[in-house]
Structure 1
Amino acid sequence: MMRGKLWISIWISFLLGSCMGKFMVEKNSLRVTSPKYLKDVYESAIGNFGIPQYGGTMLGVVVYPKANQKGCKSFEDFDLSFKSKPGSLPTFLLVDRGDCYFTTKAWNAQNAGAAAILVADDRVEPLITMDTPEEDSTSADYVQNITIPSALIKKDLGDSLKKAQEKGDMVNVYLDWRESLPHPDERVEYEFWTNSNDECGPKCDMQMEFVKNFKGVAQILEKKSYTQFTPHYITWYCPEAFILSKQCKSQCINHGRYCAPDPEQDFSTGYDGRDVVIQNLRQICLFKVANESGKPWLWWDYVTDFAIRCPMKEKKYTKECADKVIQSLGLDLKQIDKCIGDPEADQENPILKAEQDAQVGQGSRGDVTILPTLIVNDRQYRGKLDKTAVLKAICSGFEETTEPAVCLSEDIETNECLDNNGGCWQDKAANVTACKDTFRGRVCECPIVDGVKFSGDGYTHCAASGSGRCAINNGGCWKSTRDGTLYSACLIGEPEGCKCPEGFKGDGVNTCEDVDECREKLACQCKDCKCKNTYGSYECSCGGDLLYMKEHDTCISKKPMSQVGWGFLWVIFFGLAIAGVGAYAVYKYRLRSYMDSEIRAIMAQYMPLDNQGEVPTHNSHLDI
């Protein structure tokens, strides 16, 4: 048994060494704000434990302890406490690297009341990632309980901070995680590199606990297309010299091409590594089929249900149990089995080959060599695999103002618009504000309300514009309601602006006063007119039997108007009749004259008329 464990240890070390390519150190900014001579922005490396405040910042005062300067022992043993007093800045404990694990230093700093820990490197070298130690019984419990953020700083910066404190200077530092993850657009792409093995100790338990807790949030984000999630699984290949060995055959499929360590690290008992590889492949294929059917979020249901219904400890880690879970989710078993292929085939499996290729780092992302690994927008997440911490990291990957509502909840971020409206413009009367809460803080941006766009700088001025602007706070113009009638100075259409309506005078914004048409003699000025001013208009009347005509500003008699009107119509009628008869007589006379002249002309060609002499006859021939 010991020999088997030794062989596994040698084999895994060889595989890890052979697949190591590049490891990217994820960084955040550290800005020293005082003393003045150190004021600058420096780089620091994010630790693989604790909870980095992705998308946020933290201001604190740096303290270098007088004793236990490497932080390897409990600070209680030295009667040291770094818990900040009410109203004071939180403490960033600065300790030296060396003599113990990074996690031990962080745990002791947290127990002493520090809000964050800065570890100063003890050698001149590029920044590295502070990692968690290999699993052991002493560290497994406390590592998962570290909640303060940690950062590794270079030796020269650490020395400068120590000297400044020795001189009695106050050392203030901003830790800034806002740019730790790219945030280019309104969708976040993230990957989770995991394993179906549930017998690898605390790390496996932590992975499964995270999947269970994060499932609800992940599915909401995926269903509403806020995120694009992809699960991945690490596999290794068996060294060629060992392909035919019993160990490789039990840990690998496809003739040593895809392998996983023995779950119990004991070849003589329990499940083998090949069982893990096949289950990993089944989970990848399930995701592929679910994704093609438009329901990629079913992966989360399958993984959580499989862990509960088919655990290794109960000897249920089988295909039969997995198939029952798949059927309960309504997915096509045949498609998934076809995707899995033949594990005994001496050829590449395209799904697992793609997984191995994806392990190699590209661009700004390093190689994936450890489990679990979370990658957000092509950057490796550093810190505790905790629901809230991971959600913060994902939320920091959205472009400003495009975050989903879950990223703006109270337990994720602080709404800066609640404090003095974030310093932005607002119209309390219309309940309109330019302050827009975001995951990283707030922006002052003129809003769009009910389809109406406001324009301005967002800080001191915003005004509604476009069609429908008068529906929002009356477009910022004057308005008044009297006896159920609305009077508005808001101009609809072009040009936009405020102008007092007819019957009023003023600037149209703050005031519009009623014009007294009677007093200012603008109307109702006829001899018999009586003028009465009303709000926005006037009333004019005439005494007796007189009727007021507004268009002509005059009074006319009602009765004579009726008689004269009918008499006038009769005159017009008879006039038209006489004119018609006259026109007809003229027409007949002219027609008769025309006909007579035509007849006379025709007859003149055949006989002389009474008023003509005899026309002599001319003969062209002589008498013979």
Structure 2
Amino acid sequence: MGTKLNLLLCVWGLLLGCTVGRFVVEKNSLRVTAPSSLKGTYECAIGNFGVPMYGGTLVGSVLYPKVNQKGCLNFTDVNFQSKPGGFPTFLLVDRGDCYFTLKAWNAQNGGAAAILVADDKAETLITMDTPEEGKGTDDDYVENISIPSVLISKSLGDSIKKALSDGEMVNMNLDWREALPHPDDRVEYELWTNSNDECGQKCDSLINFLKDFKGVAQLLERKGFTQFTPRYITWFCPEAFLLSKQCKSQCINNGRYCAPDPEQDFSSGYDGKDVVVQNLRQACFYKVANESGKPWQWWDYVTDFSIRCPMKEKKYTEECSDQVIKSLGADLKKIKDCIGDPHADVENPVLKAEQEAQIGKGTRGDVTILPTLVINNRQYRGKLSRPAVLKAICAGFLETTEPSVCLTPEMETDECLVNNGGCWKEKSSNITACRDTFRGRVCECPVVQNVKFVGDGYTHCEASGTLSCDFNNGGCWKGSQGGRAYTACLDDYRKGCTCPPGFKGDGVQSCEDIDECQEKTACQCPGCKCKNTWGSYECKCGSGLFYSRENDTCLGAYSATGVSIWMIILIVVVAVSGGYAFYKYRIQRYMDSEIRAIMAQYMPLDNQPEESNQVHHNI
């Protein structure tokens, strides 16, 4: 299928008469570390099957078999599985006689960790692809290939073989860390797909991938970690063949947008134009969902449609599609407006944009293999499986910005679990400077509950800020005894570790109780009895006297003026009481005089003389 599609796209590109794209061979780095005669970095092409280790590296030792050197037969008599303490085996085989996938499958079954295919002629590197449908795919082994595969040049292959024949060990490092760009904290990716579900193993694996990857894709999209765009490959029919049976069966909009017939039978079953219309419907669903702020709903639509409307059950129809759209609550009218009239002799803006996007721009290259995943404008190579694709997407994040899903055990081994990654760690707590990322651990002093730790991350980190004593007591001494607790941590403007009053020491390792009684620094008054306590002391005076800690003295029954304390207290009480009584008396007198003055304005009072000049009113 891939070859046929390539040819169709080449014809389409020539007929289009515009910018001529190109197919880009995706590569990773191969660094030979031994022998010294071969040391250096070389290019190799990533195979479009198996699981490339995007974002990671793999170290191994090369082995070239004495028999079955093209790897077309099972390696029944040998075991390439590495022994404990040894390097994994990279099996080197020659190109030719069988499919690349079969070579990889046999190498994997033999225990190899990776396969290197040496080209059989001097040429630029090519992409090793899976066989066309119906050729060499009687078994489902292609989908079960899990080791990485690379194609190396003939010259490098010959050099490796010579070194091995001379008895030298060839060690190398396969490096995929820069195979995908990782410029920022968001990954942009596209999936060039197809709604056809009757193309055999490739269609089945694509549908299974969509169902399996839906959950993680929607999670990443909802949280803003990724920006996903579905894409659909189409081509147009040359004008000279517009009236042909092939174009009428496979194209819409008067030959502008075409797709292959699902059964390769123009007289029965569904036609290529049915596939184009459904592709358009899926693209329009995404467009409308994206405009409503819910682009992740596309995954629900395509997976539900594949379940509810399969070709084999004759449900691959517009009516079934409408039911799926309505069940998801999407705007059916907007989607139909986007689809337009497939029979009209006009351009469809959505499909036209898809055709233009197929031509490679920048580092991406033309999309000629279906399906194709494009991550950060670079084509993904390898099988479509949830772990493999997620690992590749995770490799597209800027270092240290990967979401937590990229650090799950199925994705990688947490390097902080072994010796804390060589980073600083507080012995008495779980606070550590080791942080595992997709590309390896980093040693950075952490921020814990808004408290920032500062240091080099390797040998030391210490809490800073006003809450520093909340974490491991700021690295200072602390102790408790007899219901009392003391700390040497200063959580104020001074900072640091200082033994509290009543203790002596460095404040970090220890603080020892000071015996104030023995050192005669307290309770030195005549007749006092001193008792040391942890962190303090007790002092008692004889003859009922009271001890004043501030003055380190005993206060007796009388002060220096000869007045007893109780007499002083009594005098104070009497004075306060007398003052309060006098205050009440003065208030009462004042109120009486004010009331009398008011009443005198309306009637004569007994003790007030009558006025001589009275006023009479005539009636």
Q: For the superposition of Structure 1 and Structure 2, which TM-score range results when normalised by the shorter chain?
A: 0.7 to 0.9
Aligned to 1:34: 34
Alignment partner of 1:15 is 2:18: no
Q: TM-score, normalised by structure 1?
A: 0.85
Specify the alignment match of 2:443 in structure 1: 444
Q: CA deviation at 1:564?
A: 6.9
In structure 2, relative to structure 1, the CA distance for the partners of 1:474 and 1:328 (3 Å cut) is same
Which shifted more, 314-323 or 103-112? 103-112
The Cα shift of 1:569 comes to 8.3
Which segment is superposed worse, 544-553 or 484-493? 544-553
Is the Cα contact below 8 Å between 1:48 and 1:132 reproduced in 2? yes
Deviation of 1:234 (Å): 0.8
Q: What is the aligned length?
A: 564
Shift of residue 497, structure 1, vs aligned partner: 1.3
Instruction: State the Cα deviation string for residues 98-133 of structure 1 (Å, max 9, x = none).
Output: 333322322232233322111122333332222223
Matches within 5 A, 1:339-488: 339-488=338-487
SS at match of 1:545: coil
Normalising by structure 2, report the TM-score. Answer: 0.86
Please tell me whether the aligned partners of residues 140 and 202 of structure 1 are also in contact (alpha carbons under 8 angstroms).
Answer: no
In structure 2, the partner of 1:329 is: 328
**Which residue is equivalent to 2:177?**
178
SS in 1 for 2:517: coil
Distance in 2 of aligned mates of 1:558 and 1:45: 102
TM-fit CA distance, 1:17: 5.9
Note closer, same or farther for the CA distance 1:537–1:70 as it changes in structure 2 (3 Å cut): same
Deviation at 1:86?
4.4
- Identity between Structure 1 and Structure 2 (%): 69
Counterparts of 1:14 and 1:104 in 2: how far apart (Å)? 30
Describe the superposition over 1:315-344 as per-residue Cα deviations: whole angstroms up to 9, x where unpaired. 211110000011111111111111112223
Cα distance between partner residues in 1 of 2:495 and 2:127 = 59
Does the Cα contact within 8 Å between 2:6 and 2:369 map onto a contact in 1? no
Equivalent pair of 2:15/2:238 in contact (CA under 8 Å) = no
Q: 1: CA distance between counterparts of 2:568 and 2:10?
A: 118
Secondary structure at 2:169 match in 1: coil
- Give the structure 1 partner of residue 593 of structure 2: none
The corresponding residue for 2:511 is 512
Distance 1:10 1:498 in 2: 76
The one-character-per-residue Cα deviations of 1:488-528 (angstroms, maximum 9, x if unpaired) are 11111323311111221111111111122222222222334
Residues 354, 568 of structure 1: alpha-carbon distance in 2 compared, 3 angstrom cutoff: same
Structure 1 or 2, whichever has the larger Rg, is 1
Per the TM alignment, residue 94 of structure 1 is displaced from its structure 2 partner at its CA by: 0.9
How far apart, in 1, do the equivalents of 2:533 and 2:25 lie? 79
**What is the deviation of 1:401?**
3.0
Q: 1:58 Cα deviation (Å)?
A: 1.7
Offset at residue 397 of structure 1 (A) = 1.7
Which residues in structure 2 correspond to 1:12-411 (within 5 Å)? 14-15=11-12, 21-76=21-76, 79-139=77-137, 141=139, 142-411=141-410
Task: Identify unmatched segments of 5+ residues in structure 2.
Answer: 577-619
| Equivalence for 2:526 | 527
1 CA distance for matches of 2:285 and 2:300?
Answer: 11
| Offset of residue 13 of structure 1 | 6.2
User: In the TM superposition, what whole-angstrom CA distance separates every residue of 1:156-208 from its partner, at most 9, and x where no partner exists?
Assistant: 32222112111111111111222221223332221111000112222111211
Q: SS in structure 1 opposite 2:486?
A: strand
Q: Which whole-Å CA distance do the structure 2 matches of 1:313 and 1:291 have between them?
A: 31
In 2, are the aligned partners of 1:193 and 1:233 still within 8 Å (CA)? yes
Q: RMSD between aligned alpha carbons?
A: 2.5
Judge conservation of contact 1:310–1:322 (CA < 8 Å) in 2. Answer: yes
Q: Which amino acid aligns with 1:320?
A: E
SS at match of 2:129: coil
Identify if the C-alpha distance between structure 1 residues 67 and 550 changes in structure 2 by more than 3 Å, giving closer, same or farther.
same
Question: 1:245 & 1:378 partners in 2: Cα distance?
Answer: 37
Query: Higher mean Cα deviation, 500-509 or 31-40?
Result: 31-40
| Cα deviation 1:335-364 (Å, max 9, x = unaligned) | 111111222333322211221222122222
> What is the DSSP-based 3-state SS (H/G/I as helix, E as strand, rest coil) of the residue aligned with 1:118?
strand
Q: Is the 8 A contact 2:45 2:150 kept in 1?
A: yes
Answer with 94-103 or 171-180: which moved more: 94-103
Secondary structure (helix, strand or coil) at the match of 2:62 reads strand
Determine the C-alpha separation between the residues in 2 that align with 1:412 and 1:18: 45
Letter in 2 for 1:275: D
Structure 1 unaligned blocks of 5 or more: 1-6, 574-624
